[in-house]
Chain A
Amino acid sequence: MKKLLLILFIITLIAQWAVPAKMIWQKEKVWRSGKLFNFRTEPVDPAHPFKGRYITLNFEASSFTTVHLDTAIGNYDPEVYVLLDVDKDGFAKVHQVVKHKPANTADYVKASINYINRMEHDSAMVMIHYPFAEFYMDEFKAIKAEDVYRESTIDSTQKTYAVVSIMNGDAIVKDVMINNKPIRQVVKEMGNDLKK
């Protein structure tokens, strides 16, 4: 009995390390070697009781209209693959949404379908939910970041986007930028301006 408990104890200890370690291993690989895509976004600021404050990213690439929708995709499909491309301004755009894992490209991300709005002439508007919609920030800065963003939207020349590293279906948000400057830096500079 004692031996069994000891074995169970050791397995538990290992499992408690393995889960976070696996999270790090997976994400570190994408962080280091993934291809970078810039997603146009609108951040808003909620909180998670354990992880703290973050900004939710509403990507413009969340909706995609097509006439060639993969017939295997259902209305609330929990697992689809979004193939990505870059538009003329250098921002990420959806190339296609497919049900099965693409074999000949690494520029895709695993996502889920919120709903599909089927329209005339076989066209359909697909609402995509990406698994990288949260960007965690210092709790005080997160609130300011939302203000900065709101101000930036008044001026239509300002661009807000998330830099997302993508590799074989997995993704990680590396930074959120306002006019090519990291949002943390913008908030910091704003704080310095106020002090002056």
Chain B
Amino acid sequence: MTKAFVKDLDELVQANIVSAETAQEILRYYQNKDAEKPNRFPVIVNVLGALLASLGVILVIAHNWDELGRFSKTIIAFLPLLLGQGLCAYTLLKQKDSVAWRETSAVVLFFGVAACISLIAQTYNISGELSGFLLTWMLLVIPVVYIMPSSVTALLYMGGITWYACEAGYFGYSSSNRIPYYYIGLLALLVPHIYQCWKYKKASNGFILLTWFITLSLTIVLGTFADGRLNRMEWIFSAYIVMFCIFYLAGRSYKLEDSRLLTNPFLSIGALGVLFILFSWSFEFLWNDLADKYSIGAKRDVVLYSPFFYLTIVLLLVNAWLIITDYKRVTKIIFDPIGFSGLLLFLLLLMTRSNAPFGTLITNAWILFVAVFFIRKGAITDHLGILNFGLTIIALLALFRFFDDQIPFVWRGLFFLATGIGFFIANYLMVKKRKEQKG
């Protein structure tokens, strides 16, 4: 309960709007409600403490103490592990109901495993890529997520497997096994935990953070599966945009619809991702690049060798299924073009490869259509944020086309004028409508 609230309540009592007894009852109600709420502060402080201390231990170990012999180093290697395991065992036996104990001991064990393996590897000069190290580490700590159970460890695990995929797919130098297939399995190991959280703790901060980690992780990792030798650039784009459409539709689905933008990463990342890719393809150079590649003798059936082409089709099926369920559910529908963006770009890429101006034109028109949708939706739902988001899309489109010297100056000028005036009129109309409603 905030001080401002108590002050407001006093003001209402003095103005004789609320009686002193009612005010007392209101205060008592909120005091009891506050007392029932679990205090998150100790949990956060403990977990942060454990996180920092564990990272400190890892850094101290990484110093490489030459003065210590092989035997002492080996003994020391097991100490952080033993501490983590001991804390976890104690928590399970004596403090099972304490979130602070569960999360803290799980974090200590999570890093204890890393400290142990790295010190042993260092002592015996065991070579190996970072991706292999991360893979072993993650496999050894995943059970902790379920045994304790621990949401923070689940987040750390998500971070760890994303790092593994990036190391193996983007940064790794090994010539073989560059595609991090294990990522799929590692992610699958977390699915039961995700499902449990979704079912029982959907409104918790832990779950919201986890959904952010998952959407960001998938966004980062999808590209690691694109082996440059096999995949053509356009199919990587198409797979990405369809994945973003799926995020967006999932975010709109009835299970998550009520959540706000910040608590619904599927909706936010989905919409932003779709727009980012559409904007990329609104430039003619990407289409020209594509047309050039096909004109220098690449055969049409090269498409068939690109695994991402098939991945796009599979993702499109999921996309279609989500669109159908969405259509069945929402009765009073405003046509939402975002979920169809993936299909549109895919068809354009498949069919208009030698006709760059056509592809550019359609993509630009589609972005305009998406912008109009947001403006209309904002107007209907009386939401200034959504309305201005639509207008921002148009403004960005205008900005990108400002430098496009293939469009005559006069057209570009008129487009800018129209956009500017549109901003004023739309906002003015909405504010006026609100005033009228109040009046």
Give A residues with C-beta under 8 Å from B: 5, 8-9, 11-13, 15-17, 19-20, 23-24, 27-28, 31, 48-54, 76, 78, 112, 114-115, 131-139, 141-142, 172-173, 184
Contacts and interface: CB of A to CB of B under 8 A. Distances in A.
* The 5 A-B residue pairs with the shortest CB-CB distance in the complex, in nearest-first order: A52-B62, A27-B124, A50-B118, A12-B143, A138-B66
Contacts of A78: 176-177
Contact of A9 (B63, B143, B177): B143
Interface stretch (B128-136, B190-198, B312-320, B343-351): B128-136
B398 interface: no
Interface of B: 58, 61-66, 70, 74, 77-78, 81, 85, 88-89, 92, 109, 113-118, 120-128, 130, 133, 136, 140, 143-144, 146-147, 175-177
A31 B124 CA distance: 9
Nearest to A138: B66
Nearest to B70: A31
A131 B89 CA distance: 37
A8 B147 contact: yes
18 contacts: A5-B147, A8-B143, A9-B143, A15-B140, A23-B121, A24-B120, A24-B124, A27-B124, A48-B62, A48-B130, A51-B118, A52-B118, A76-B176, A114-B175, A133-B127, A136-B125, A138-B64, A139-B64
B94 to A, nearest CB: 15
A51 B63 CA distance: 8
Most buried by B among A50, A53, A112, A133: A50
Query: What secondary structure prevails in chain B residues at the interface with A?
Result: helix
Contacts of B85: 13, 16
A13 B84 CA distance: 10
Nearest to A47: B62
Contacts of A115: 175
Given A9-B92, A16-B113, A172-B124, A136 B175 contact: no
B127 A184 contact: no
Contacts of A172: 124-126
Nearest to A141: B66
Most buried by A among B58, B78, B109, B120: B120
B177 A49 contact: no
Given A19-B140, A20-B78, A50-B114, A131 B128 contact: yes
A23 B66 contact: no
Contacts of B133: 50-51
Nearest to B81: A16
Contact of A138 (B65, B130, B144, B176): B65
Contacts of B109: 16
Contacts of B120: 20, 23-24
A141 B66 CA distance: 9
Nearest to A188: B66
A141 B67 CA distance: 12
A193 B123 CA distance: 28
Contact of B125 (A5, A9, A134): A134
Contacts of A31: 70, 124
Contact of A131 (B58, B127, B176): B127
A6 B74 CA distance: 28
Most buried by B among A24, A53, A76, A172: A24
Contacts of B62: 48-53, 139
